[in-house]
Amino acid sequence: MITDVTVSETERWTAALGGAALAMYGLSQRSFLGSILAAGGGALVLGAVISPTARGTKTSLGGTRGVLVDESVAIARHHDELYRFWRELDNLPRFMQHLVSVTTLDARRSHWVAVAPAGRTVEWDAEIIADEPNELIGWRTLDAADVVSAGSVHFKPTGKEEETVVHVRLQYEPPAGKLGAAIARMFGDAPSQSIHEDLRRFKALMEAGEIPTTVGQPRGRQSILNYD
Amino acid sequence: MKALVWHAKNDVRIETVPDPRILNPRDAIIRITSSAICGSDLHLLNGFIPTMQTGDVLGHEFMGEVVEVGAGNAKLKVGDRVVVPFTIACGHCFFCKSALWSLCDNSNPNAWMAEKLYGYATSGLFGYSHLTGGYAGGQAQYARVPFADVGPLKIPDEIPDEKVLFLSDILPTGYMAAENCDIKRGDVIAIWGCGPVGQMAIKSAWLLGAERVIAIDCVPERLEMASHSGLAETINYDREDVFDRLKSMTGGRGPDACIDAVGLESHGATFDAYLDEVKTSTFLATDRPSALRQAIHACRKGGIVSIPGVYGGFLDKIPFGAAFQKGLTFKMGQTHVMRYMQPLLDRIRDGELDPSFVITHRVPLDDAPQAYQMFRAREQGCIKVVLKPHDETARQVRH
């Protein structure tokens, strides 16, 4: 796994925040970041996001601007199949935990709904800005979106029979500048971890046909000390 | 339904919990007819395995009848009689396709947790902490079996539960331990630990062509079983120096392969402590590997150390210099149970093997908490306990 998250201004922002706001943001950060994953980018330089090196993306955005996430996973499926599944955008909520829905508007444009902090939902329109069948999909949010981001997913055969590395690259500027990622970082490895988990779910769905779960299984009496 | 529930260290109870239901398309629900307590369950009772939670249902050696099948499961049907392997595997990932079933990529819902500790996540396991998925186990009246079109093995009606129950874990585990010894003509195999896995390893070493099998323990009835039922030579480590004895028994060369069927006797390690260790890279010892140290020390030059015993953390003072200088090979890991179930069932059906000889106690599920205590204290010569979860079978064993 490759991870590259750039965060600054942390001290300035965290000093300004009360404990309650921190806690609320922390509890909801996974949802927020999940919505980011699916978003496309408005003002960002798109060619860079689609370029093969993460460094290129960062440089073209003027160094430390925004948050850059870079995650990959090996999946024992043919790259054609993986591309086709992903390209049907309404499939994405099946493995991206924080997406509620994706509706295709036309050949390029789509409408996205995701769970956001504090229990609200965010919606935006995005467009496909690169589409190389069986290899690459690139996207960005349209200008009016309040989440500014761009991203790409590459599907590359590994050389092993029926195996593909799926590589997601994503750059975004959260509504509160770098605050979202800064706070998220305090609570764990997000946003990389959030995207890592979504890719893990994609892999399970494509390989095993279902995503493993224990939610709803029998349990005895529990303690409030349990960590989840 | 009734189930054995973990509450805290030294605190397991029978409770009424909700019945399991189908959660994923490939699931099945099993009505359990027999379930065993494993030596590794004692590590849970003793609080040595991190990421246990109050309310967890234990048990990973069970069999029974299929009572419900998910819509995506084409292999099982209601009424099938099956043994369930303790490892959970999807059947389609790189590792499953390589028959490395216990390393499945897709069966552990808490993969992130295992990645923090081990770098990569291994398969889900029944009833064995949240690190391996937090799946409810089979010391219960019913269990939900995920990916039930991969693991469970159908059993012909004429073979009784007790002959096939241990296909779920200890028989394949002992067999894989012996197979990992790459046994050749004339080989001497030394086995540390004469618990149920050690007993299975002894039988398996003979099946795979060992010339001599030497069993090492300190519990008289276990050595007696190894000798009487397993036909092994024995060493009581309380009375004899194991290294000297092995050397003299092998003309000074040492055993060709050594099996550590003991595993961790860990100091207490909490979930937080584990994660802290990973995060801070502070490598403190967590497991007590004295059998492993002896096995490495005693193994002949160029030999194999095979480790079915479970380890979970950081081991201290492993004689790695001896291992390197002698050019040893190490083979280890959770058992790839699915690889061995059918061939071992064939051997059982053909009368070559009958693993039921390790059973010393049969009790109703209601008595499981007391059975745990008895097993841990090795009272009443306890080596292996089989639980009967339903009244019609429990009645036969109730006293």
d(CA A4, CA A67) in angstroms, rounded, equals 8
Q: Which residues of A fall within a CB distance of 8 Å from B134?
A: 214
pLDDT at residue number B220 = 95
pLDDT at A194: 84
Within 10 angstroms of residue B379's Cβ, the number of other Cβ atoms is 10
Cβ–Cβ of A210/B24 closer than 8 Å? Answer: yes
Indicate yes or no: CB of A227 within 8 angstroms of CB of B271: yes
Q: Return the pLDDT at B121.
A: 96
Measured in whole angstroms, the distance separating CA B327 from the mean position of its chain's CA atoms is 28
**What pLDDT, on the 0 to 100 scale, is given for residue B398?**
66
For residue A220, which residues of chain B lie inside 8 Å, CB to CB? 3, 5-7, 13, 15, 17, 54-57
Give alpha helix (H) positions in chain A: 10-15, 19-38, 46-50, 54-60, 79-87, 179-186, 192-208
Is there a contact between B232 and B215 (Cβ–Cβ < 8 Å)?
yes
Sheet holding A67-75, edge to edge: A67-75, A164-173, A148-157, A136-141, A121-132, A109-115, A99-104
Please answer yes or no on whether A225 and B92 come within 8 Å at the CB atom: no
Structure tokens at A57: 């993306």
What are the domain boundaries of chain A? 10-208
Is the pLDDT reported for residue A224 higher than 80? no
ipTM of the complex: 0.90
pLDDT in tens, A171-184: 876 655 555 554 44
- pLDDT tens readout for residues A70-107: 999 999 999 999 999 999 999 999 999 888 999 999 99
Q: Note the pLDDT of residue A24.
A: 30
pLDDT value at residue A57: 41
Query: CB B19 to CB A218 under 8 A?
Result: yes
Q: What percent of chain B has pLDDT over 70?
A: 93
Query: Most distant CA pair in chain A: distance in Å?
Result: 54
Using a CB-CB cut-off of 8 Å, the residues of chain B touching A222 are: 53-55
Q: Which of B56, B105, B107 sits opposite A203 (nearest CB)?
A: B105
Quote the minimal CA–CA distance from B96 to chain A in Å. Answer: 11
Report the percent of chain A where pLDDT is more than 90: 40
Tell me if B21 and A212 make a contact (CB, 8 A cut-off). no
Stretch among A89-103, A109-123, A161-175, B138-152 having the lowest mean pLDDT: A109-123
A212 with B109: Cβ contact below 8 A: yes
pLDDT, chain A, mean = 71
Residues of chain A contacting B57 with CB distance shorter than 8 Å: 218-220
- Chain B 11-50, CB below 8 Å of chain A: which residues? 13, 15, 17-21, 23-26
Q: What is the pLDDT of residues B355-370, one digit of tens each?
A: 999 999 999 999 999 9
Nearest to B235 by CA among B252, B212, B209, B253: B212
Segment among A117-126, A148-157, A204-213, B76-85 with least mean pLDDT: A117-126
Quote the pLDDT of residue A188.
Answer: 41
Structure tokens at B384: 């292996």
Minimum distance, in Å, between the CA of residue B343 and any CA atom of chain A? 25
pLDDT value at B90 more than 90? yes
For residue A194, give the chain B residue with the closest CA.
B112
Partner-chain residue, chosen from B20, B97, B124, that has the shortest CB–CB distance to A212: B124
Shortest Cα–Cα distance, B4 to chain A (Å): 9
Kindly determine whether residue A210 and residue B26, on different chains, have CB atoms separated by under 8 Å. Answer: yes
Q: What is the pLDDT of residue B374?
A: 96
Taken in order of first residue, the domains within chain B and their CATH numbers are 2-169+335-397 (3.90.180.10), 173-332 (3.40.50.720)
| Residue of A163, A213, A221 with shortest CB distance to B109 | A213
Question: What is the C-alpha radius of gyration for chain B, rounded to an integer number of angstroms?
Answer: 20
DSSP A146: S
Cis peptide before B25 (omega within 30 of 0): no
B90·A219 Cβ contact <8 A: no
Superfamily of domain A10-208, CATH level 4: START domain (3.30.530.20)
* Contact: A214, B109; criterion CB under 8 Å: yes
Tokens of B388: 């009967």
pLDDT confidence band for B268 (50 / 70 / 90): very low
How far does A50 lie from chain B, in Å, by closest CA? 28
| The model's pTM | 0.85
CB contact under 8 A, A218 and B90: no
